Structure 1
Amino acid sequence: MKMKHALKWLLAIGMVGLFAANTGTGNVQAAKATRTVTDLTGAKVTVPNKVNRVADLWHANNQVVLLLGGQKKLVATTPMIQKQPWFAQVYPGIKKVTAPYNGTDLQVEELVKTKPDVVLASDAPTVAKAKEANIPAVNVMYQDFNGLQKSVTTTAKVLGGNAPKVAAKYNKELKGNISYVQKKVAKAKKPTVLHIVSTADLLKVDGTQSIVNEWIKNAGGKNALTQKGNMIETTMEQVVKANPDVIIIGQTTTTAARQALKNDSRFAQLKAVKNNKVYGNPQGTFPWDRYSAEEALQVLWAGKLLHPKALANVDMVKETKAFYNKYYNYKLTTTEAKQILAGENPKA
């Protein structure tokens, strides 16, 4: 009788457990296994409570993952990032990560094979494709410094662990650098600046209402153009009319930038070209001038470039070395820091 009584109790306990698993208690347990992250479009995305495998399909955001210490969670990236020499220098493992997305074409089958817990993306079509494959997708795209801070914070929330603390430290430093430069150049005359995307197309530029325009303004300059937009086409007539005091070209060195403009008769007579006020933009684990976590350094560099006397105390070699050590745990040599500032690749 005692044995039968004990069996009845065990059966009863089992039924209660089964009932709980299929009702409230089970739902609570399921809820604890996931959490909600709000992306930069305002969409609420349910992601696993613990994210171990990340597919980062936005070139620039891979650098944010690196900054936050989550690079070993990357199971999918982009070919562009794998070709960034300084990224590979800091984290050689990126070369072994699958790259199912080239910026326009997403190979969904290859993405699924990487078994990501979450996808980080910069556009609606990529988010939609990931969702169709039943993979949570978080849009982290932005267009200004406030957006950069939100993107870093959101990426940190996705990664979890220590990432949110690193994000908070980074955002504080970014805001601090911007504030420091703004105060130093507040009373200075503002030179006009033309920012060209690259030497591949000298009439593809960055206008107002872009993050490039924002750092030009923060650094004590004024965009030479009034056209609005990021990576837009302009005309030579507009460039000649603007006749900028300074020209900065992305994805190249200062030597190559000056040579490109001096060799082009359309640009040769511009004030900036004649006065050798043409510069290549620094390039680190990602180009500093757009969508880069290294914008925290960009604003210091641009401020000192435009107002060398006002920011005479800023040592960009020292600042660059400190940043890489602090966030990437990579100790740049002085030579390497100078190469990054010159827009040069690491020596083989």
Structure 2
Amino acid sequence: MKLKKWLIATVLSLSLTANMAFAKTITDVKGKTVEIPDQVERVVDLWHANNQVVLLLGGADKLVGTTNVIKANPWFNAVYPNIKNVPAINSQNGVQLEELLTAKPDVVLVSNKPAQEEVEKAGLKALLIGFQDFDGLKKTVRITADVLGDKAPTIAEDYIQELDTNIQLVNERLKDVPQEKRPSVIHISNGSNLFKIDGGKSIIGEWVKLAGGHNAFEDQANLVEVNIEDVLKANPDVIIVGSSNADKAVEQIKADPLWASVSAVKNGKVFVNPTGTFPWDRYSGEEALQILWAAKLFHPAQFADIDMVAKTQQFYKKYYNYELSKENAEQILKGQNPVQ
């Protein structure tokens, strides 16, 4: 009897030890610790933006679930054609639990607490990611890299070093530029609504300031509704339109008499924000390029030697192993889709 109990205890002990050996603990952005397999092979990423981080870190082949936004992104499809075979496991009504369970993920990456709770109730491991500043971007990149394992943590540190180097370069070149020479900027979230803006209390506000501008709506967060009176009062020196339909929005602003008296319109400083495997302006690893693009846009003399076409080509080759032509890079910088 004692021998039997000893054997059972030994088996249980060995089983627990084995399980621990094949598990790792990850801390998400809110400090919650989650135990996941030591070798993760199947990932569902339910945050549109972070799929691009997974791609950047070399983990796209581990995706067994993505989002409708990523599946519809032309540059993501160009860089990683297999995304067409990865099911979208989200909808306007939230997580599609049946599809999620069918995907059998080792871990699910989510951007909000309700989604995390929903995934956990289904008996799956969920990690919360997300950010509103560059420190948060670095943290999310590192968490995602730890989840993916393999070479991802090394790539993450290399990327973070490149991001920091670009930040330091911009800071150094703009340190002597007085406030009165720093343009006021309105960033319009997307071309579908000219009055939905991103204010200073967001990552958009952070890169605008870093690049030597100041947000015309400094006290606002992202995705805030304003009106034409607010725009006229702010009278920005520069207007940038991000994401979808941005080119049409720029033309609309230029042609609309209501906007004609705005300084940015009068001086021809209304621009489309670059968009690649994800829009550069928000929640993207390509934010490392956004910093340089915006600094050159606001202060061309200080950044005359920065070739954004070459920088974009180098980034895509280094992180995606994708050869962008000069025309491709120019299309990304203009927020255009790849040539069909």
Q: Same fold (TM over 0.5)?
A: yes
Percent of pairs identical after alignment? 48
Structure-1 residue corresponding to 2:332 = 340
**Does the residue aligned with 2:205 lie in a helix, a strand or coil?**
helix
Pair 1:200-2:187 in alignment: no
1:202-252 deviation line (CA, Å, top 9, x unaligned)? 110001110000000110000011332111111222211110000000025
Pair 1:292-2:284 in alignment: yes
Question: Within 5 A, what are the aligned runs for 1:208-287?
Answer: 208-251=200-243, 256-287=248-279
Identify which of 96, 99, 119 aligns with 1:107.
Answer: 96
Identify which of 21, 24, 36 aligns with 2:11.
Answer: 21
Preserved CA contact (<8 Å) 1:253 1:343: no
- Measured in 2, the distance between the counterparts of 1:84 and 1:160 equals 26
**Does the residue aligned with 1:244 lie in a helix, a strand or coil?**
coil
Structure-2 residue corresponding to 1:9 = none
Structure-2 residue corresponding to 1:62 = 51
Structure-2 residue corresponding to 1:331 = 323
Identify which of 314, 327, 330 aligns with 2:306.
Answer: 314
- Measured in 2, the distance between the counterparts of 1:254 and 1:143 equals 22
Structure-1 residue corresponding to 2:81 = 92
| Amino acid corresponding to residue 200 of structure 1 in structure 2 | S
- Measured in 1, the distance between the counterparts of 2:133 and 2:279 equals 16
- Measured in 2, the distance between the counterparts of 1:152 and 1:237 equals 39
Which stretches in structure 2 are left out of the alignment for 5+ residues? none
**Does the residue aligned with 1:198 lie in a helix, a strand or coil?**
coil
Identify which of 34, 39, 57 aligns with 2:28.
Answer: 39
Structure-1 residue corresponding to 2:296 = 304
TM-score (norm 2): 0.95
Pair 1:182-2:171 in alignment: yes
Pair 1:71-2:60 in alignment: yes
Which stretches in structure 1 are left out of the alignment for 5+ residues? 1-11
| Amino acid corresponding to residue 190 of structure 1 in structure 2 | R
- Measured in 2, the distance between the counterparts of 1:70 and 1:194 equals 35
Preserved CA contact (<8 Å) 2:76 2:276: yes
TM-score (norm 1): 0.93
| Amino acid corresponding to residue 176 of structure 2 in structure 1 | K
Structure with the greater alpha carbon radius of gyration: 1
Preserved CA contact (<8 Å) 1:77 1:98: yes
Preserved CA contact (<8 Å) 2:110 2:128: yes
* CA-atom RMSD in angstroms: 1.7
Structure 1, 140-149 or 100-109: larger mean CA deviation: 100-109
